[in-house]
Amino acid sequence: MPKKRVVLAVHGGAGIILRSALTPEMESEYRSALQDALSAGYAVLNRSGRDDDVTISNSGHQEDVATDAVEAAVRCMEDCSLFNAGNGSVFAHDGHIRCDASIMSCSFDKAVYDNRDVSCDKAEEDDIISSDKESSITTCHQIIQKRRYPKTPHPQAGAIAGVTNIQNPISLAKAVMKHTPHVMLIGKGAEDFAKQLPKEARVEFQPDQYFWTERRWKQLVNVRESEKEEQQKQQQQIMKVQLDHSSTTQQEEGSDVVCDKKFGTVGCIALYQPDANDNTYQLASATSTGGMTNQRYHRVGDSPIIGAGTYANHLCAISCTGHGEWFLRCVAAHDIAKRLEYKHGYDGTSSATNNTLLKKALDEVVFGTLMSEDHAGEQGGDGGAIVLDKDGNFAADMNCPGMYHGWVYEDGEMETSIFWDERVTKQ
pLDDT value of position 254 = 38
In contact, 394 and 407? CB cutoff 8 Å: yes
pLDDT value of position 63 = 60
What does the pLDDT look like over 340-384, one tens digit per residue?
999 999 986 777 789 999 999 999 999 999 998 766 666 678 899
253 exposed, middle or buried (CB, 10 Å; 0-12, 13-18, 19+)? exposed
pLDDT value of position 60 = 36
What does the pLDDT look like over 80-104, one tens digit per residue?
999 999 999 999 999 999 999 999 9
What is the DSSP secondary structure assignment for residue 5, as one 8-state letter?
A: P
What's the rounded Cα separation, in Å, for the pair 301 and 280?
34
In contact, 201 and 193? CB cutoff 8 Å: no
What b/e string do you get for 207-227 counting C-beta neighbours within 10 Å, with b at 16 or more?
A: eeeebebeebeebbebbbebb
pLDDT value of position 241 = 57
pLDDT value of position 149 = 66
- Residues carrying an active site annotation: 265
Q: How many separate helices (H) and strands (E) can be counted in the chain? A: 12, 16
pLDDT value of position 255 = 40
pLDDT value of position 50 = 45
Provide Rg for the chain, Cα atoms: 23
Integer angstrom CA distances of residue 147 from 20, 123, 133, 150, 349: 60, 13, 21, 9, 21
Strands (E), 124-248: 156-163, 184-186, 239-242
Which is it for strands 156-163 and 184-186: parallel, antiparallel or unpaired? parallel
Q: What is the pLDDT along the chain (427 residues), one digit of tens a residue?
A: 567 899 999 999 998 888 888 899 999 999 999 999 999 999 999 986 444 443 333 333 446 899 999 999 999 999 999 999 999 999 999 999 999 999 999 998 776 665 555 555 666 666 666 666 555 677 777 767 766 766 677 899 999 999 999 999 999 999 999 999 999 999 999 999 999 999 999 999 999 999 998 888 888 888 888 777 776 676 555 555 555 654 444 433 334 333 444 567 999 999 999 877 777 899 999 999 999 888 899 999 999 999 999 999 999 999 999 989 999 999 999 999 999 999 999 986 777 789 999 999 999 999 999 998 766 666 678 899 999 999 999 999 999 999 999 999 999 999 999 998 886 555 5
